[in-house]
Amino acid sequence: MKKEDFITFIQDIQTQICTALENEDGKAKFLSDEWQREGGGGGLTRVIQNGNVFEKGGVNTSVVYGVVSPALAQQLSAKGESFFACGISLVIHPKNPYVPTVHANFRYFELYDAQKNIVDSWFGGGADLTPYYLVEEDAVHFHQTFKIACDPFDASFYPKFKQQCDEYFVNKHRGNECRGVGGIFYDYLRADDSHTKDFWFDFSKANGEAFLKAYLPIVQRRKNESFTEQQLHWQEIRRGRYVEFNLIHDRGTIFGLKSNGRTESILMSLPPRVRFEYHDTPEKNSAEEKLLTVLQTPKNWI
């Protein structure tokens, strides 16, 4: 695999996902914003807003390169004089509180020595679901779809990467409360004696291609559910937790900012409406409390 192969993959899947989401929304279209990074590279930010189904969402690709700064070296926990990174990152925030927010990204890194030789390279990625009201059928479908994508490569991958997802998307400052019901998450997948770079490339492609299969059926089942102002209020509170994770813990956000990435694209993941209230606690035995119970103790959905 050459890095150009991964670039083609993320550009193709960006087009596929945006087209499918536009068709599902039926009103809003993605706006395209091409940008250049000071220091090397750039990307294509595609944003949808104020639609029938999707209140705000972004599907972004980036291809960046440059010098490894001290801050970036610390963030990567790897040594190199210069770097190359490309990836696709998406976050979709629907209007209806019964339709979950979803996040996914797939990325590839290379590090070089002073003579431009590759000294390290790896893949990362995954997808996770953040419901505001728990519908177990939807969580099972999301997880099952990614298990089907993982299993042909190794039956141990789904449970391993599912656990890594549960351990990563956690607001530790909120009593180890998970951001959502998880999915899969992997990072630093390197070629070794057991797996070639092509193997991990094919694995990334399989999971990228599983995204629409995992998410669109959930949107179609829930987008016409009726909801109340109280449920919108709860959605905004939970979106506040989403913001907290992205700004405090998320490695992708931190990498983007420390690598002098485009701030507008990096913070695209933040929802348009959000609420922070002091010591908000849901009623006993409510649907809201049911969600929090699952977020405190990750569940095996399959």
What pLDDT, on a 0 to 100 scale, did the predictor assign at position 122? 96
Residue 76 pLDDT greater than 90, yes or no: no
Catalytic pick among 103, 141, 143, 249? 103
Using DSSP, state whether 126 is helix, strand or coil: strand
What pLDDT, on a 0 to 100 scale, did the predictor assign at position 261? 75
Residue 72 pLDDT greater than 90, yes or no: no
Q: For the chain, which residues make up each domain, given as ranges?
A: 3-296
What pLDDT, on a 0 to 100 scale, did the predictor assign at position 257? 81
Residue 74 pLDDT greater than 80, yes or no: no
Cβ neighbors of 37 (< 8 A, separation 6 or more) are 43, 62, 64, 66, 260, 261, 262
| pLDDT tens digits, one per residue of 180-226 | 999 999 999 999 999 999 999 999 999 999 999 999 999 999 999 99
Give percent of the chain above pLDDT 90: 87
Residue 148 pLDDT greater than 80, yes or no: yes
What count of Cα atoms within 13 Å lies in the side-chain half-sphere of residue 102? Answer: 28
Asked about 249 being catalytic, the answer comes back as no
What pLDDT, on a 0 to 100 scale, did the predictor assign at position 159? 98
Residue 39 pLDDT greater than 90, yes or no: no
Minimum mean pLDDT range among 34-48, 64-78, 99-113, 209-223: 64-78
What pLDDT, on a 0 to 100 scale, did the predictor assign at position 279? 86
| pLDDT tens digits, one per residue of 235-254 | 999 999 999 999 999 988 88
Taking residues 103-126, what's their average pLDDT? 96
| pLDDT tens digits, one per residue of 261-294 | 788 888 888 999 999 999 888 999 999 999 999 9
If you average pLDDT over every residue of the chain, what do you get?
Answer: 94
Check: CATH 3.30.9.10 for 3-296?
Answer: no
Cβ neighbors of 65 (< 8 A, separation 6 or more) are 40, 41, 82, 83, 84, 85
What pLDDT, on a 0 to 100 scale, did the predictor assign at position 259? 73
Q: Exposed (0-12), middle (13-18) or buried (19+): which is 137, by Cβ within 10 Å?
A: exposed
